[in-house]
């Protein structure tokens, strides 16, 4: 009986002793780090925040870190190089506060991760400006003489597009080196290999986009194009189209400059502006008239771009070139069957609408010295109740109101009614001619104005 009682007393004392030890350490860890706590690779278990902070600063600032490449040391540096000067006390205090001092036995056996209330990243917050400066200088030095990484791409060889494979170089990627250095110092990692920081290709030969681009390039190179121009069907040289297709910066493109000389040749052959024109008159045979306002020209620069854009659509095509000017029918000489004809010699005017003679009238053209210009013109505007202004022979100004005004060139020459004229045709123009316009009887001019639309050719000879 006494033995049992003694055992109970001893057991109780032992429990009290264990409890005392437990409580003592729990109180001790109220303001110190739990066992096995590490920060930036430095052991700070059982240390107060102030002591741990001093130890971490000393260890990280003076610690030497090593970068290796292909088995060789290529760079060494200390924590000072990347500026680990910040006060870690605040971070340590926060970590210590999160730890559960009553769980110190678990920490003593299983490490701090088991004793913390929640997971923590126990690493230094580096001075990123100093890290970047160090990395920039180090990478610039180490990259000298290294081979460059290249992406897979598409090139033209022997006239055909082929995929060129990617190449793997040894040049360093600054972003990756920056990340590696930061990781080393902030976690206390003494050494690291640079192999994983090599620049890697972002496009490989098996890339789906590259395969599609290759197919598109081949398709565009085989496109057939035709111009419909002035009644002709002109085949665009297929080799020219093929030469225009290229690949750059990962993009399928068509170079409009390839067509510059070709379009200049087409313009020289087909442009009608600034070109003499043969014209079959009503009763004076065939005449040749100088260039006037009527006619068109290929917009070579704009057409080159438009042609490139058309090719890039990826289908065979027929198109009219972009042109400027008038008479853009692209058939024959462009005069067509609706036009106004003026004979200065006969002092007569004819109006044809769809090939049918609608008006035949005597007129008065410019008096000698102010002759109505010969040429191929067109009605570029129509205006009711206009006032024509200019200078008389003696230099005085005139202002002549007219009911119908249809200018045909850009110097003030046009068709209009002339109520002041008492006679038309014959030699009347020699003494009573206009300042260059085609004076038409008022009642006839009303019909001309009604029948002739803007854009109609006017041939004067």
Catalytic site includes residue 437 = yes
| Residue 103: per-residue pLDDT | 83
CATH assignment, 339-460: 2.40.440.10
User: How far is residue 435's CA from residue 438's CA, in Å, rounded to a whole number?
Assistant: 9
**Where do the CATH 2.40.440.10 domains begin and end in the chain?**
339-460
* Tally of residues, the chain: 461
Is 435 part of the annotated catalytic residue set? no
Residue 308: which of 240, 381, 399, 213 has the closest Cα?
A: 240
Q: What tokens were used for 361?
A: 């009238």
Q: How many CB atoms lie within 10 A of CB 369?
A: 7
Instruction: Pick the catalytic residue from 36, 122, 348, 416.
Output: 416
Tokens of 420: 């002041």
**Which residues of the chain does CATH 3.10.20.800 include?**
209-325
pLDDT value of residue 122: 66
Tell if the pTM clears 0.95, that is, is over it.
no
Write the CA distances from 76 to 55, 124, 344, 421, integer angstroms: 22, 19, 98, 105
Phi-psi region of 423 (alpha: psi -120 to 50; beta: other; left: phi over 0): beta
Which architecture does CATH list for 209-325? Roll (3.10)
Q: What string of pLDDT tens digits covers the 461 residues of the chain? A: 566 666 666 566 667 766 777 787 777 888 898 988 888 778 899 999 989 888 887 777 788 999 999 999 999 999 888 876 556 777 888 888 888 888 888 877 765 444 343 334 466 777 888 899 999 999 999 999 999 999 999 999 998 999 999 999 999 999 999 999 999 988 889 999 999 999 999 999 999 999 999 999 999 999 999 999 988 999 999 999 999 999 999 999 999 999 999 999 999 999 988 889 999 999 999 999 999 999 999 999 999 999 999 999 999 999 999 999 887 665 555 788 999 999 999 999 999 999 999 999 999 999 999 999 999 999 999 999 999 988 777 778 889 999 999 999 999 999 999 999 999 999 999 999 999 999 999 999 999 999 999 999 999 99
Whole-angstrom distance, CA of residue 9 vs CA of residue 20: 16
Q: How far apart are CA 247 and CA 346, in angstroms?
A: 64
Contact (CB, 8 A) for 153 and 170? no
């Amino acid at each position: 009986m006494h033995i049992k009682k003694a055992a109970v007393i001893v057991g109780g004392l032992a429990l009290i002793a264990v409890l005392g030890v437990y409580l003592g350490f729990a109180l001790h860890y109220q303001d110190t780090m739990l066992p096995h706590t590490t920060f930036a690779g430095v052991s700070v278990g059982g240390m107060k925040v102030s002591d741990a902070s001093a130890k971490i600063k000393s260890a990280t600032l003076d610690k030497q870190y090593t970068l290796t490449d292909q088995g060789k040391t290529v760079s060494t540096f200390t924590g000072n190089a990347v500026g680990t000067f910040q006060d870690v006390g605040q971070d340590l205090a926060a970590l210590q506060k999160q730890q559960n001092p009553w769980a110190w036995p678990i920490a003593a056996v299983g490490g701090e991760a088991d004793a913390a209330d929640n997971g923590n990243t126990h690493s230094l917050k580096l001075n990123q400006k100093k890290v970047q400066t160090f990395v920039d200088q180090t990478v610039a030095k180490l990259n000298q003489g290294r081979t460059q990484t290249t992406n897979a791409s598409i090139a033209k060889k022997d006239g055909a597009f082929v995929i060129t494979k990617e190449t793997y170089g040894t040049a360093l990627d600054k972003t990756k080196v920056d990340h590696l250095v930061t990781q080393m110092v902030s976690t206390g990692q003494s050494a690291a290999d640079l192999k994983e920081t090599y620049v890697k290709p972002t496009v490989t030969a098996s890339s789906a986009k590259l395969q599609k681009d290759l197919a598109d390039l081949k398709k565009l190179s085989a496109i057939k194009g035709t111009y419909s121009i002035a009644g002709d069907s002109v085949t665009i040289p297929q080799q020219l189209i093929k030469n225009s297709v290229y690949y750059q910066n990962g993009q399928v493109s068509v170079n409009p400059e390839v067509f510059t000389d070709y379009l200049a040749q087409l313009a020289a052959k087909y442009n009608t502006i600034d070109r003499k024109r043969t014209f079959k008159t009503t009763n004076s045979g065939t005449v040749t008239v100088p260039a006037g306002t009527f006619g068109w020209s290929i917009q070579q620069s704009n057409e080159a771009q438009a042609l490139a854009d058309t090719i890039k659509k990826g289908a065979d095509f027929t198109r009219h070139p972009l042109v400027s000017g008038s008479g853009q029918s692209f058939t024959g000489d462009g005069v067509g069957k609706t036009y106004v004809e003026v004979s200065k010699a006969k002092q007569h005017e004819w109006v044809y609408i769809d090939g049918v003679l609608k008006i035949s009238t005597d007129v008065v053209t410019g008096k000698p010295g102010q002759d109505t210009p010969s040429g191929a013109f067109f009605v570029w505007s129509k205006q009711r109740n206009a006032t024509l202004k200019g200078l008389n022979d003696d230099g005085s100004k005139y202002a002549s109101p007219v009911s119908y005004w249809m200018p045909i060139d850009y110097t003030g020459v046009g068709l209009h009614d002339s109520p002041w004229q008492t006679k038309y045709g014959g030699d009347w123009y020699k003494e009573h001619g206009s300042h260059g316009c085609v004076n038409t009887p008022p009642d006839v001019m009303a019909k001309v104005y009604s029948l002739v639309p803007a854009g109609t050719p006017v041939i004067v000879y």
